[in-house]
Structure 1
Amino acid sequence: MLSRSLRISPSVCLFLLFCAFLGWQLSHGPILGQPIDPAGPGAGEPKMPLRIAVVTMVTDEKSYIHMSLKNKDYYARRHGYDLVVDFEAHSDLGTTWWKYNMMERLIKSNKYDWMWWIDFDTLITNTDIKVAEIIQETLANATNPDDIDFLTTHDCNGLNTGSFVVRSRESSVKYLRDTYDIHAVAKSRGEQYSEQDAMAKLSRIDPESAKRTLQVPQWKMNAFPQEIACFDESRQVWKHGTFVIHFAGAWAHVKGDDPTGQMMRKYEKEIIWGDWKGLF
């Protein structure tokens, strides 16, 4: 009777074997074809593209207004960025300081992750290149990327603010306001500081502010042409295929009644535009 009570039907044997296999499989990993749970909140989700504003201003008549605006408008449309242009400057500190007012205003709007300031006497000569990728590549090589608020470039005279990138957050606003304080102190001593001078001094005297700024090679987003030989330590002149060309101080290097306009018209022919279809 005992032996008869221990008999197990073939179907029960198969069920027990399946359960044993299933237990072994689960102990060694997920079943083939079963979705794997993400490592944590947000893991595996596609990264959202950076929200970028391309920012510039022009406050008086120039021979190259249409050329410069067309170039920057096309670039912004091509990559889904916003183009922000001011045509008046109301800073008590001087026209060049208005770029900082614009940056502070855009940070407070909460519409962007980063803003790229670019002077009006520039051309984006390779519209294939995305400034968002320059930001991401630069931060990937930083020791503490989350600390960085400003990406700047230098020329032969030091800091050049003709092309720089600002992260949109409160610490950037504090940095900009600290430059105003430096200007105020200099003015009380009878000295005159440009926005560029104030930013450079702030990075020299305040280690915390210096940690928030990262220098990008000049050729990468603020290249000068051979006619304006004022390069950073890389000594790299603009060449065809370079991202941006800047005609800073053309009046001191190029003869003629309209030095900057002459340079703009010369190098306009070098622009890599890409496909216009679908942009308008």
Structure 2
Amino acid sequence: MLVRALKIPPAFLFLLVFLAFFGWQLSQGPSHEEGPVNMSPVPAESTVEKKTPRIAIMTFVTEERSYHHLALKSKDHYARRHGYDFIVDYEYHTDRAVIFWKYNMAERLIKTGKYDWIWWLDFDTLITNTDIKVTDIIEEELKNVTNPDAIDYLTTHDCNGLNSGSFLLRGHEMSLKLIHDSFAIHDEAKKKDKQMSEQDATVQLLKDDKVMAATVHQVPQWKLNAFPQEIACFDDSNQVWEHGTFVIHFAGAWAHVKGDDPTGQLMKKYEHEIIWGDWKEFYDQ
């Protein structure tokens, strides 16, 4: 008996052909024309921008000086150029020696939580190379220590030991312990009628408290607190200020330079050595 041929609808026949072709494509594996897929994790550095440290520069002056304008101008100009905050106090309110007011200022700024580092500069200083970023010095120096996060205080020495004319404090609450402990040492000395500066109190603190001392890193004097040739009191590097150096400090000029106004005289002499940069790049037009 003849078998009657089945009549298959065209749509059903097309579906069978498509499924057969699709199955064949799957059996061939991935196309060799496509590059390999990189499944490696994306490095964090490529997705997270490096945070620029927030910096405050602080100083105070409580009486008229012949070099008032220049001392303020060099610091203010520098702060504007690099986007740092510049804080100046013109009076002090403390029962301790007036020089302790720098620690009161630091405490106040730390408590705002606005800054990563706070840079104290004595008023008798000039920033003589405004090209240099203090953040670069911080980064460079912290690379030289085993545990950078454990360092809260960057300071310098001169021929007599610690010099607190230019130092950096990390802007977090742990830095307050150094300030408060220095206050306590002064207050205890005062009970014994002993005069003590903030520098003396800090030296005593770091001598007695090894844990606190471990949070301090000494920066070469010439990097952060250079002295001119007229004031030859250098640290072990024995490096005098020269043109292009970051900061010049006229500490104790009265003991080294003759005249009625030793600091003012040195300020005028070194004013012409300042590398200012183009003010039009950062002053509002």
TM-score by length of 2: 0.88
Pairwise CA distance, 1:89: 1.1
Residue in 2 that maps onto 1:12: 23
Residue in 2 that maps onto 1:90: 93
Residue in 2 that maps onto 1:4: none
Q: Does 1:70 align with 2:81?
A: no
List gaps (5 residues or longer) in structure 2: 1-18
Q: Please point out which of 37, 50, 54 is paired with 1:47.
A: 50
Name the amino acid aligned to 2:109: L
Distance 2:137 2:240 in 1: 19
Q: Please point out which of 197, 200, 212 is paired with 1:194.
A: 197
Which ranges of 4 or more aligned residues in structure 1 deviate by more than 6 Å? Answer: none
Distance 2:150 2:67 in 1: 38
Partner secondary structure for residue 276 of structure 2: coil
Residue in 1 that maps onto 2:84: 81
Pairwise CA distance, 1:276: 1.1
Residue in 2 that maps onto 1:174: 177
Distance 1:278 1:25 in 2: 48
Pairwise CA distance, 1:279: 2.2
Report matched runs for 1:98-137 at 5 Å.
98-137=101-140
TM-score by length of 1: 0.89
Distance 1:206 1:16 in 2: 74
Partner secondary structure for residue 75 of structure 1: helix
Distance 2:77 2:99 in 1: 25
Residue in 2 that maps onto 1:147: 150
Q: 1:191/1:231 Cα in 2 relative to 1: closer, same or farther (>3 Å)? A: same
- The structure with the larger Rg is 2
Pairwise CA distance, 1:18: 3.5
Name the amino acid aligned to 1:262: Q
Name the amino acid aligned to 2:26: F
Pairwise CA distance, 1:15: 3.1
Residue in 2 that maps onto 1:5: none
Q: How many residue pairs are counted as aligned between the two chains?
A: 266
Residue in 1 that maps onto 2:3: none
Partner secondary structure for residue 277 of structure 1: helix
Distance 1:220 1:190 in 2: 37
List gaps (5 residues or longer) in structure 1: 1-7, 31-35
